[in-house]
């Protein structure tokens, strides 16, 4: 149920709050290499932010052998899982979440990571005390750039699209938010440039969570409420 007067901030997690973009890149690169379907890392990096339901079609094309998709996803998941105990939050990520909560905003993690990955991400963030709700891949039929995960985040948190801001690090985040007319704040810490994020429609762009925190009072987040 939507609470009419509530405002909140939806956060992507991978590459936005936790430093995982290049870990995913390397894991997909190795999974594809092992399957004799090599793809350059730069190409993979630019696709990170899509979920596993979209990324293989983007990287390998619609004519690929789809029967191999499950094995490739499992290989990526296994390789990425080796990093779980070493996941590191991006600069002042938890402080940013707490500052948003301190403004009376609901803090929502809108991630399309798998349910078992979400636990590792939350441990790395160490900010459960201010997180109102969390989505995972199971909550959406399609991953970004489809808006499904944001729709699920709004439904679970009781927020309205007109009273939130989304913070993400990829053009896929910006595209998903745009489909719901949600302003998207871009962070470049996932490796996507300021120009690319702004060109995709981000309403403001900052280097990382620490930079957004430092400018919070003048950011689109401050306009909520």
Question: Tens digit of pLDDT for each residue in 197-220?
Answer: 999 999 999 999 999 999 999 999
pLDDT of residue 2 exceeding 70: no
pLDDT of residue 47 exceeding 80: yes
Q: What is the rounded distance in angstroms from the CA atom of residue 26 to the CA atom of residue 24?
A: 6
| Whole-prediction pTM | 0.95
Domain at 8-20+87-223: CATH code: 3.40.50.1000
Cross-sheet strand order for the sheet of 131-135: 131-135, 106-110, 8-11, 164-168, 184-187, 204-206
CA-wise closest residue to 75 among 112, 40, 30: 30
Q: How confident is the model at residue 53 (pLDDT cuts 50, 70, 90)?
A: confident
pLDDT of residue 150 exceeding 90: yes
pLDDT of residue 4 exceeding 70: no
In order of 10, 126, 129, 222, 223, the CA distances from 188 in angstroms are: 17, 22, 26, 20, 22
pLDDT given for residue 63 in this prediction: 87
Mean pLDDT of the chain: 95
Average pLDDT over residues 178-189: 98
Report the percent of the chain where pLDDT is more than 70.
97
pLDDT given for residue 1 in this prediction: 45
pLDDT given for residue 130 in this prediction: 98
What stretches of the chain show up as alpha helix (H) in DSSP?
A: 21-34, 41-47, 52-60, 69-81, 93-102, 115-125, 148-157, 171-178, 194-200, 209-214
pLDDT in tens, 118-134: 999 999 999 999 999 99
pLDDT of residue 141 exceeding 70: yes
Report the percent of the chain where pLDDT is more than 90.
90
């Amino acid at each position: 149920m939507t609470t009419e007067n509530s405002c909140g901030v939806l956060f992507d997690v991978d590459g936005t709050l936790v430093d995982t973009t290049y870990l995913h890149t390397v894991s997909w690169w190795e999974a594809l290499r092992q399957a004799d379907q090599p793809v350059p890392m730069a190409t993979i990096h630019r696709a990170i932010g899509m979920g596993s339901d979209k990324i293989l079609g983007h990287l390998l094309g619609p004519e690929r052998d789809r029967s191999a998709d499950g094995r490739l996803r499992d290989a990526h998941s296994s390789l990425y899982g080796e990093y779980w105990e070493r996941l590191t939050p991006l600069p002042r990520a938890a402080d940013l979440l707490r500052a948003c909560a301190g403004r009376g905003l609901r803090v929502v993690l809108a991630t399309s990571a798998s349910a078992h990955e979400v636990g590792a991400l939350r441990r790395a963030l160490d900010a459960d005390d201010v997180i109102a709700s969390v989505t995972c891949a199971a909550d959406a039929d399609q991953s970004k750039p489809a808006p499904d995960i944001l729709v699920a985040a709004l439904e679970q948190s009781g927020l309205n699209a007109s009273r939130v801001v989304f913070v993400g690090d990829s053009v896929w985040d910006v595209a998903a938010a745009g489909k719901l007319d949600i302003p998207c704040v871009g962070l470049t810490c996932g490796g996507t440039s300021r120009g690319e994020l702004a060109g995709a429609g981000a309403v403001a762009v900052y280097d990382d969570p620490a930079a957004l925190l430092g400018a919070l009072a003048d950011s689109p987040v401050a306009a909520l409420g």
